[in-house]
Amino acid sequence: MKCLLLLLCIFLITHRISSLTEKQFNATKKLVRNTCQNKSKATSEAIDAMRKGNFNQDKNAQCYIHCILNTYNLLNKELIFDWEGGVRTLKENAPESIADPGAVSIQNCKDAVKTRSDKCIAATEVAKCLHDDNPTILYFYSIFLY
Task: Tell me, yes or no, whether 45 lies in a domain.
Answer: yes
Torsion of Cα atoms, 104 then 107 then 112 then 117, to 10°: 130
| Residues across the chain | 146
Task: Tell me, yes or no, whether 21 lies in a domain.
Answer: no
Of residues 21, 134, 135, 129, the one with CA closest to residue 69: 129
The pLDDT value given to residue 143: 52
Q: How many domains does the chain have?
A: 1
CA 55, CA 124: separation in Å to the nearest integer? 7
Task: Tell me, yes or no, whether 20 lies in a domain.
Answer: no
Task: Tell me, yes or no, whether 140 lies in a domain.
Answer: yes
The fraction of the chain above a pLDDT of 90, given in percent, is 42
Task: Tell me, yes or no, whether 73 lies in a domain.
Answer: yes
CATH code at 33?
A: 1.10.238.20
β-strand partners of 33:
none
The pLDDT value given to residue 20: 63
CA 32, CA 9: separation in Å to the nearest integer? 9
Task: Tell me, yes or no, whether 24 lies in a domain.
Answer: no
pTM of the model: 0.78
pLDDT in tens, 112-146: 999 999 999 999 999 999 889 988 665 445 554 44
- Grouping H, G, I as helix, E, B as strand and the rest as coil, residue 94 is coil
CA 140, CA 98: separation in Å to the nearest integer? 7
Task: Tell me, yes or no, whether 18 lies in a domain.
Answer: no
Of residues 106, 26, 22, 17, the one with CA closest to residue 69: 106
Tell me: pLDDT of 16 over 60: no
Containing domain of residue 66, as a range?
2-13+29-145
pLDDT in tens, 22-73: 677 677 778 888 999 999 999 999 998 988 889 999 999 999 999 989 988 8
Task: Tell me, yes or no, whether 89 lies in a domain.
Answer: yes
The pLDDT value given to residue 25: 66
